[in-house]
Amino acid sequence: MNAPRAIALCQCFSGALEFQAGHWDMAEAALKDSINLYQELSAASGEALAWQRLGVVQTARGQLDEAMVSFNEGVVAAERATMRAHCLARLYASMTRNRLLANELKAAEQYLDLGLAMGRRHGNCSTCDALLLPAAVSVRLSQGAFEAAEEFCQQLEKAADEYGSRTWVVMARQTRGELAGALGEYEEALAYYTEAYEGFQATGYDYEAARCLEAIAQIRQKRTGAAEAEMARQARLEAEQIFERLTASKP
């Protein structure tokens, strides 16, 4: 077809879809191909987003340092991109999540602040918010800032409703579960996480479904009784089987 820009775009979307479907080797290959094509075209916006998506795959696999290299390459590309604000907001969101998984809370706070500042300067984007706001809730919970976490939850729910995406609604439920669990509201947390698990499972997003199962197991472990212990064991076993199949790092 001799249409490298179209091929680069298709490979970038293919990488994102293969990641969601659990085909992570194929996702990495597609995204690296997309990056190379965008670099040949000097198409900085596409390159930056492909680097961001590659870093997300690497983060899920537990390759946290490699992912940060990819994210930083994305930042370099984003600085010369026509969609600079959108690219940087998504990169900072992914970098925040990466540093949370690395237990580098100070760095996570710094990347979150950069992402939030980008939104304030250039106007909020629903797609960028869907990536940034769940990480914002996690950061605020790590700080014990429950009221701020609640505000971010509400913003995410509003963005999900406005965009009309079932996946975003499920993400909002997952984030609600995280907040409820941190507040010790275990019944509510289990309900939110169960709804999120079922939603992710229905769309074939097994990685996020497994993360919900792991959260359910952790909550049930905090409750008393043999039945709770057995349900926690079953949820964790199912999550571990999914993580192993995906070659994912346990969160």
> Among 9-13, 205-209, 220-224, whose mean pLDDT is lowest?
220-224
196 closest CA partner among 116, 104, 134: 134
pLDDT at residue 224, rounded to an integer = 79
Q: Which residues of 205-233 are buried (b: 16+ CB within 10 A; e: fewer)?
A: bbbbbbbbbbbbbebbeeeeeeeeeebbe
Q: What is the pLDDT of residues 169-211, one digit of tens each?
A: 999 999 999 999 999 999 999 999 999 999 999 999 999 999 9
For all residues of the chain together, what is the average pLDDT?
93
Q: How far apart are CA 76 and CA 14, in angstroms?
A: 23
Write down the pLDDT at residue 131: 85
> 124 pLDDT band (50/70/90 cuts)?
low
CA-CA distance, 9 to 15, in Å (whole number)?
10
**What's residue 247's pLDDT?**
87
| Range from 50-54, 66-70, 116-120 carrying the lowest mean pLDDT | 116-120
Contact 97, 58 (CB under 8 A): no
Per residue in 150-176, pLDDT tens?
A: 999 999 998 888 877 888 899 999 999
Q: How confident is the model at residue 2 (pLDDT cuts 50, 70, 90)?
A: low
